[in-house]
Amino acid sequence: MCKNLSFWLFLFLINLSASAQSKRPNVIFILADDMGYGDLGITGQEKFQTPNIDQLAKDGILFTQHYAGSTVCAPSRSAFLTGLHTGHTPIRGNKEMQPEGQYPLPDSLMTIPKLFKQAGYTTAAFGKWGLGFPESSGSPENQGIDEFFGYNCQRLAHRYYPEYLWKNGEKLFLEGNDWTEKSTYAPDLIHREALNFIKKYDSGKPFFLYIPLIIPHAELAASSAARIEKYHQKFGPEKAHVAGKGGDYGPEMNLGGYQSNPYPRATFAAMMEEMDLQVGEIVQLLKERGMDENTLIIFTTDNGPHLEGGHDPEFFNSNGPYRGFKRDLYEGGIRVPLIIRWPSVISGGRVSEHASAFWDFLPTFSAMLGIQLDQETDGVSMLPTIINQEKQNSHEYLYWEFIEQGGKQAIRKGNWKGVRTGLQKNPDAALELYDLETDPEENYNLAEKYPEIVKELMQDLSQARTINPFFQLFSGEK
């Protein structure tokens, strides 16, 4: 639980500029989809540029030891919204519900949008939801979202030219799209809706705007042929991605598949450029409307880089210096860049090594808003770091579990990182041990050298989770 909220709120308020003290900040949370740690210029990307996102970091804080909620979409978003890691959060895997959508969040938990509504905010989400099929307890309107536009189902969000999107519980069919023809590029439409929300907004009341992008998740598709050609000329010849049966648009299309692409590398770079331009347009609009100073912008990504639809993350060094990709619990699958920008509060150009994770956002916002949570969280408020106070509490440990690929667990405690795999076949699988201070690439397993650390982490793992029979980590859990 968040402790000493009145104290932290006092510190928070005295750090606000005089113009910002009279009202609470707007909050915009931008979540990229499957973007790796190394996919930004500020974190080392050299194949393409991301000047607008880099500028967010130059104007704010770059967190270099931040972690996603999970290594795939739905549980990562569940951890973000509920303030609970994957040992406790209700959604611990990508579980489909037919005909459309995912296993739903319950309506009994406090979530970030509900928290902001309690504080008097208007809430909106534009992008990919993936936490409950339409009209379920987990659908946006039942989780505190006043206005939603985008994909309900993350499987359908594999497709950048869908037949329809959802707008406030109703299907909105897209002109020229019928799963065979491709005319309306959904990310552009979603972005325009987000800009329109800001344009029409009455600044007399604060808003929480959640923008869960689908870029740069496969399928590889960019709206600008000129940008693709620019990178094709830069990168030169490359191997085309040829989709299997049902991958391409047409009568036999598999809605969850990915289309063929002659230039997958060039297309990925073009997509990243388009995403960066969208971020820049959001910031520019805030400045034009006089809302920039008192708007807190957060930018991060839901997990590490994917290996799907022809994407070549090794060419781009998308996971930076880290081992692993999406679906791994090594650092490359879960360590993600976090940027927080708030001009009236944060002096620019700061870099923080505070170890944090998605489940920290709920207690952070709770402290910022001065609202006492009435439920337990696994998070630690990052507000002291954001407002540049010295007293920042740390996690005892960070924990992840992943039900796919045979079952996996990971834990970070200080600089020690433990990883276990193959748990559904062997619940007693050995722990791999890495020292992230000296070996951030996780190349050297030190388990035999430090058996006492292994024992300590195994004890922590035994207490880190509750059983969820819908998302079994070990076979036969009830």
DSSP secondary structure, 391-407, as one string: -----S-EEEEE-STT-
DSSP 259: -
Distance CA 89, CA 85 (A): 6
* pLDDT at site 128: 98
Q: What is the pLDDT of residues 179-207, one digit of tens each?
A: 999 999 999 999 999 999 999 987 678 99
For the segment 347-356, the average pLDDT, to the nearest whole number, is: 95
The domain segmentation of the chain, as residue ranges, is 5-395, 399-463
pTM value is 0.95
- The CA-based angle 150-59-118, given to 5 degrees, is 50
Q: What's the Cα-to-Cα distance from 86 to each of 93, 410, 471, rounded to whole Å? A: 9, 10, 10
* pLDDT at site 478: 83
b/e for 115-136, b at 16 or more Cβ within 10 A? bbbebebbbbbbbbbbbbbbeb
CATH code of domain 399-463: 3.30.1120.10
Distance CA 293, CA 130 (A): 32
Residue 241 corresponds to which tokens in the numbers above? Answer: 């991605």
347-353 contacts, C-beta under 8 A, 24 or more apart: 347/388, 348/58, 348/59, 348/60, 349/58, 349/59, 350/60, 350/61, 350/62, 350/388, 351/61, 351/62, 351/64, 352/61, 352/62, 352/63, 352/64, 352/65, 352/385, 353/63, 353/64, 353/65
Q: What is the pLDDT of residues 112-121, one digit of tens each?
A: 999 999 999 9
* pLDDT at site 215: 98
Q: Is the confidence at residue 1, as pLDDT, over 60?
A: no
Q: Is the confidence at residue 251, as pLDDT, over 80?
A: yes
Q: Is the confidence at residue 167, as pLDDT, over 80?
A: yes
Residue 370 corresponds to which tokens in the numbers above? Answer: 């001065």
* pLDDT at site 24: 92
Distance CA 53, CA 41 (A): 8
Architecture of the domain made up of 5-395: 3-Layer(aba) Sandwich (3.40)
Alpha helices in 236-324 (DSSP H): 264-288, 313-316
Distance CA 85, CA 101 (A): 22
Cα 117 vs. chain centroid, distance in angstroms? 21
Residue 346 corresponds to which tokens in the numbers above? Answer: 């944060």
Q: What is the pLDDT of residues 64-103, one digit of tens each?
A: 999 999 999 999 999 999 999 999 999 999 999 999 999 9
For the segment 268-284, the average pLDDT, to the nearest whole number, is: 98
* pLDDT at site 5: 43
| Closest C-alpha among 23, 75, 46, 52 to residue 294 | 23
